[in-house]
Amino acid sequence: MAYKKNWSEIALEDYNGIITYLITNWSFSIASDFEDTVNKKLENLSKRPFVGIKSYKNSSVRSILFTPHNRLYYRITEQIIELLTIIDTRQNPKQNPF
């Protein structure tokens, strides 16, 4: 049985910010490719939610790479995958809350 996905406000803001950045600075095609990648990764995640690595700071939080520059942090509660945030992997690791 596939888990349902629930986007937090922060994760949606992160996602929309990335899409806007890609359209503005690269192209609509690149943004569309990113969306396709995210959708495929989320579909796989809904079928195998425990595939992500556990966070060092909070063991109830896991993460997967969307792209080499974007990591999704999420939490599993019952049959729901709670999408928490998307972090740019190039930022200072000390700023990462997870």
What the chain holds in terms of domains, given with CATH numbers, is 4-89 (3.30.2310.20)
For residues 38 and 15, the answer to whether their CB atoms sit within 8 Å is: yes
Phi, then psi, of 92 in degrees rounded to 5: -60, 120
The pLDDT score that the predictor gives to residue 58 is 94
pLDDT digit string, tens, across residues 27-86: 999 999 999 999 999 999 999 999 999 998 999 999 999 999 999 999 999 999 999 999
The pLDDT score that the predictor gives to residue 1 is 78
For residues 67 and 89, the answer to whether their CB atoms sit within 8 Å is: no
Rounded mean pLDDT of 81-97?
A: 91
pTM score, whole prediction: 0.93
CA-atom Rg of the chain in angstroms: 13
The pLDDT score that the predictor gives to residue 34 is 97
